[in-house]
């Protein structure tokens, strides 16, 4: 299944994508794509999308997960990205958190924070947790995954690396967490470790990678995190980015108002963001 949320920010409605790629309203069946619904998606698989009301027009898409709980990020999880950043491949996953207030729709604008000079892009595979996970093994991990999505882990590098404190401050500005367009259930993803991914800025290809080069794969990350704290339905993991970020360019290149960012992952859809100033 491909599941989505549409409508005005803060008032999104759940939807299913039919065979023609059209939105079908799910709000008579579920309240939202969050919490307990994500823990019991099997009942949605029994629905024929053609039996659902068709959503007319082209409404705004919201984040494909409602009421995101923990929004975890994994740093330097692609060996070639670590190299372009001038950093060593970590001996265990580097963790940071993105504020839930950073979450936005896949096509909402990226708003540059006031004074920003180093806002950067990062296409990432998102993993959405569907069932609570605590102290689980790598072999058990995939049973706790509700699905996958595209994430742009937008990052302000000056805040992230040049100021005191942790990465979180450079990762959590408003609009720095576009999620979607769809939540794609595992039955439609043959291998999350073999997905092509790309990102363009102003129609110029910046990132062209694959999840095959992840240092720590999805199952390992879900298990690893569950041994630190309980993962709950609606938690989201951004699993890292391949090379081609602005920080790694020579000279470095960062987003400016008027830029357009487009990105996607095979089978998981695409995003498009206009960059604007706050």
pLDDT for the residue numbered 83: 75
- Structurally, how many domains does the chain consist of? 1
138 CA to centre of own chain: 21
Structural domain includes residue 38: no
Structural domain includes residue 200: yes
Report the run of H or E that residue 37 belongs to, with start and end. helix 35-38
pLDDT for the residue numbered 69: 94
Structural domain includes residue 34: no
List % helix, strand, coil for the chain (3-state, nearest 5): 20, 30, 50
Alpha carbons 244 and 67: distance in angstroms, whole number: 31
Structural domain includes residue 121: yes
Provide the domain limits for residue 175: 63-277
In this predicted structure, the answer to whether residue 165 has a pLDDT above a threshold of 80 is no
| Domain of residue 117, CATH code | 3.90.850.10
Pair 71, 94: CB distance under 8 Å: no
Alpha carbons 144 and 130: distance in angstroms, whole number: 5
Alpha carbons 126 and 139: distance in angstroms, whole number: 19
Place of tokens 């089978």: 267
Structural domain includes residue 87: yes
Q: Structure pTM? A: 0.96
Structural domain includes residue 24: no
Structural domain includes residue 117: yes
Pair 138, 223: CB distance under 8 Å: yes
Using only C-alpha atoms, what is the Rg of the chain? Answer: 18
pLDDT for the residue numbered 53: 97
pLDDT for the residue numbered 209: 95
**Collapsing DSSP states into helix, strand and coil, what is residue 141?**
helix
Alpha carbons 71 and 167: distance in angstroms, whole number: 13
Q: Tell me what the mean pLDDT of segment 85-107 comes to.
A: 91
95: CB partners within 8 A, 6+ apart: 72, 73, 74, 75, 225, 228
Q: Tell me what the mean pLDDT of segment 66-87 comes to.
A: 86
Pair 206, 246: CB distance under 8 Å: yes
- Tens digit of pLDDT for each residue in 220-253? 999 999 999 999 999 999 999 999 999 999 999 9
Distances 83 to 76, 96, 158 between C-alpha atoms, Å: 9, 19, 19
**Collapsing DSSP states into helix, strand and coil, what is residue 69?**
coil
Structural domain includes residue 56: no
Mean pLDDT value across the chain:
95
pLDDT for the residue numbered 180: 97
pLDDT for the residue numbered 163: 75
In this predicted structure, the answer to whether residue 81 has a pLDDT above a threshold of 80 is no
């Amino acid at each position: 299944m491909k599941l989505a949320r549409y409508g005005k920010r803060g008032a999104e409605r759940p939807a299913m994508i039919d065979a023609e790629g059209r939105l079908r309203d799910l709000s008579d069946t579920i309240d939202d794509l969050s919490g307990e619904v994500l823990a019991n998606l099997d009942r949605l698989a029994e629905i024929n999308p053609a039996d659902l009301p068709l959503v007319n027009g082209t409404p705004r898409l919201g984040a494909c997960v409602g009421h995101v709980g923990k929004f975890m990020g994994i740093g330097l999880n692609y060996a070639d990205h670590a190299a372009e950043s001038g950093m060593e491949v970590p001996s265990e996953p580097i963790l940071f958190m993105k504020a839930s207030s950073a979450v936005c729709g896949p096509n909402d604008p990226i708003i540059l924070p006031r004074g920003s000079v180093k806002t950067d892009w990062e296409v990432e595979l998102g993993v959405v947790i569907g069932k609570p996970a605590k102290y689980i093994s790598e072999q058990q991990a995939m049973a706790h995954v509700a699905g996958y999505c595209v994430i742009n882990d937008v990052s302000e590098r000056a805040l992230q690396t040049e100021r005191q404190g942790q990465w979180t401050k450079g990762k959590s500005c408003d609009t720095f967490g576009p999620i979607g367009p769809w939540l794609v259930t595992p039955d439609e993803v043959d291998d999350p470790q073999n997905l092509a991914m790309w990102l363009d800025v102003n129609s110029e290809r910046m990132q062209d990678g694959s999840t095959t080069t992840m240092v720590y794969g999805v199952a390992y990350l879900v298990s690893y995190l569950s041994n630190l704290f309980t993962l709950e339905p609606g938690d989201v993991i951004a699993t890292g980015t391949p090379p081609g970020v602005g920080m790694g360019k020579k000279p470095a290149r960062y987003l400016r108002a008027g830029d357009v960012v487009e990105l996607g992952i095979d089978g998981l859809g695409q995003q498009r963001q206009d960059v604007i100033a706050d």
